[in-house]
C-alpha cells in the first residue's frame, strides 16, 4: 500500500492576504508576511484507495475545499484516488489557520506517498491549490508570499531563531465561522470601495514589515501589524453585506492588549477571519499576557505558542 504521513503548523499573517488574483485563483492579489507557529499542528495521512475518502478528526466528511483541491491536483499532478485522514490539535475553520496547516500537510504527504518528486516551488503550488495561505506554512520561521516575486513566490525571510517571539491566542469562540475566507474575500473584492486602497496600502505595509523583522524592531512591527490587521477588518466591514468576524470577547481582548501596551509591555494584537485574538509578544512578557487574556471577559481559553518549523514527514 502507498501511504505517507506529514505534519504542518498554521501560520499567522503579520501583513494579511485578503483578495485573490483575478487571473489566478491560487495567487493572492497582494504580498503577505507571516510567522509559522509551533504547538498547533495538523497531521495528515494519505494512501491510495479505490475512491476518494476524507476523514477529519476521525469523522468521514465531504469537504468541498478538499474535493476542489483533489480535482485540481489530479488534473495538474496526476494524483490517483486517495484516502485522506487528517487531525488537528486545535479547532478548524475558526480563524486559527487550520486550512493553511491542513493543505501544507496534505501536499507534503501526497508528494511523499505517490513519489511526485515535486520541487519546492511546485510543492508550494500544490499547497496553494487548497488555500493560498498554505503556501506560507511550507516553511518555518518568518515567511513571505509575494505573487510578483521574480524568484520564489514563497520564501523564508528568517529562520525561527532569528527572533523568538511568542504568540498567545485568546480563543473567544471555537465554533466554525459562517462565511469562509474564500467567499468573504470575493465579496470584498466585488463590493467594497476600499478594495483598491487596501491593495496599495498592503504593498507598503509589506515592505515596512520586512524591514521591522530584519531589525527585530518590536515597536515598528507592532505598529504595522496592528494597522494592517485593522485595515483588513475595515475592508471586511465595508463589504456589502458587511463581514463581521468579531465577537464581544474579541474587542475585550484587544482592549486588554492595549492596556498592557500602556503598561509598557512589548505586545500587539492581530486578528484573522475569525473572532480569536492573537497577541504577539516578547518571551519575557508571554506569561503575563496569557494571564491577562485568560481573565478577559469573553475569552474561553488561551494557547501559548512560539515560532515553529516547516512541515515534516513522519
Ligand atoms: C491571512 N487569511 O493572510 C489571511 C488573513 C484570513 C485573514 O489567509 O481562499 O484560507 O483558501 O486562499 O488561505 C485565510 O485565507 O483562503 C487567510 P483561500 P485562506 O492569513
CB of 16 shorter than 6 A to ligand 1: yes
Beta carbons within 8 Å of 50's beta carbon, 6+ residues apart = 81
Residue 183 CA to ligand 1 center (angstroms) comes to 11
CA–centroid distance, residue 175 to ligand 1 (Å) = 17
- CA 185 to ligand 1: nearest atom: 9
Predicted confidence band of residue 312 (pLDDT cuts 50, 70, 90)? very high
> Which ligand 1 atom is the nearest neighbour of the CA of 12?
20
Q: Which of 235, 244, 242, 212 is nearest to 225 (CA)?
A: 212
Per-residue pLDDT, 81: 92
Stretch 113-129: mean pLDDT: 95
For ligand 1, whether the C-beta of 236 sits within 6 Å is no
**Residue percentage of the chain with pLDDT more than 90:** 91
Average pLDDT score over residue span 196-223: 98
| CB of 243 sitting under 6 A from ligand 1 | no
State yes or no: pLDDT of 92 exceeds 90: no
pLDDT at 93: 60
Model confidence pLDDT, tens digit, residues 237-289: 999 999 999 999 999 999 999 999 999 999 999 999 999 999 999 999 999 99
pLDDT band (50, 70, 90) for residue 1? low
- pLDDT of 135 over the 70 cut: yes
Residue appearing with cell numbers 485522514 = 85
**Between the CA of residue 14 and those of 127, 132, 228, what are the distances in Å?**
20, 15, 8
pLDDT at 94 over 70: no
Ligand 1 and 276: CB distance under 6 A = no
Which residue's CA lies nearest to atom 7 of ligand 1?
A: 272
Whether the per-residue pLDDT at 96 is higher than 80: the answer is no
Is residue 280 within 8 A of residue 286, CB to CB? The reply is no
- CB–CB of 236/242 below 8 Å? yes
Q: Cα–Cα distance between 57 and 119 in angstroms, integer?
A: 29
Cα separation, 171 vs 25, in Å, equals: 30
Note the pLDDT of residue 217: 98
Q: Mean pLDDT score of the chain, rounded to an integer?
A: 95
pLDDT in tens, 25-83: 999 999 999 999 999 999 999 999 999 999 998 999 999 999 999 999 999 998 989 99
Of residues 14 and 90, more confidently modeled = 14
**Which residue out of 64, 95, 97 has the highest number of ligand 1 atoms within 8 Å of its CB and is therefore the one to mutate?**
97
33 Cα–ligand 1 center, Å: 12
Return the higher-pLDDT residue of 147 and 1.
147
CA 123/CA 145 separation, integer angstroms: 14
Identify which of 32, 69, 99 to mutate to test ligand 1's pocket (most ligand atoms within 8 A of the CB).
99
Q: Which residue's alpha carbon is at the smallest distance from atom 10 of ligand 1?
A: 131
Amino acid at each position: 500500500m502507498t501511504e505517507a504521513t506529514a505534519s504542518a503548523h498554521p501560520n499567522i499573517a503579520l501583513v494579511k492576504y485578503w483578495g485573490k488574483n483575478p487571473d489566478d485563483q491560487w495567487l493572492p492579489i497582494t504580498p503577505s508576511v507571516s510567522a509559522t507557529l509551533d504547538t498547533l499542528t495538523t497531521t495528515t495521512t494519505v494512501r491510495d484507495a479505490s475512491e476518494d475518502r476524507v476523514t477529519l478528526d476521525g469523522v468521514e466528511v465531504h469537504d468541498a475545499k478538499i474535493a476542489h483541491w483533489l480535482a485540481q491536483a489530479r488534473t495538474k499532478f496526476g494524483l490517483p484516488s486517495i484516502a485522506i485522514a487528517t487531525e488537528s490539535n486545535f479547532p478548524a475553520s475558526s480563524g486559527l489557520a487550520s486550512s493553511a496547516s491542513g493543505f501544507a500537510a496534505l501536499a507534503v504527504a501526497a508528494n511523499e506517498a505517490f513519489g511526485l518528486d515535486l520541487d519546492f516551488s511546485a510543492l508550494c503550488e500544490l499547497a496553494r491549490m487548497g488555500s493560498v495561505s498554505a503556501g506560507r506554512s511550507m516553511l518555518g520561521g518568518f515567511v513571505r508570499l509575494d505573487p510578483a516575486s521574480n524568484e520564489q513566490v514563497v520564501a523564508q525571510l528568517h529562520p525561527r531563531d532569528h527572533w523568538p517571539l511568542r504568540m498567545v491566542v485568546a480563543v473567544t469562540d471555537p465554533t466554525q465561522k459562517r462565511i469562509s475566507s474564500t467567499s468573504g474575500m470575493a465579496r470584498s473584492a466585488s463590493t467594497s470601495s476600499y478594495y483598491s486602497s487596501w491593495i496599495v496600502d498592503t504593498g507598503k505595509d509589506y515592505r515596512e514589515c520586512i524591514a521591522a523583522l530584519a531589525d527585530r524592531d518590536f515597536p515598528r512591527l507592532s505598529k504595522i501589524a496592528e494597522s494592517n490587521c485593522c485595515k483588513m477588518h475595515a475592508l471586511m466591514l465595508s463589504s456589502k453585506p458587511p463581514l463581521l468576524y468579531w465577537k464581544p470577547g474579541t474587542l475585550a481582548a484587544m482592549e486588554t492588549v492595549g492596556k498592557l501596551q500602556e503598561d509598557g509591555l512589548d505586545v500587539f494584537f492581530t486578528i484573522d477571519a475569525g473572532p480569536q485574538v492573537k497577541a504577539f509578544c516578547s518571551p519575557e512578557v508571554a506569561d503575563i499576557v496569557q494571564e491577562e487574556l485568560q481573565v478577559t471577559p469573553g475569552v474561553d481559553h488561551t494557547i501559548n505558542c512560539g515560532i515553529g518549523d516547516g512541515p515534516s514527514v513522519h
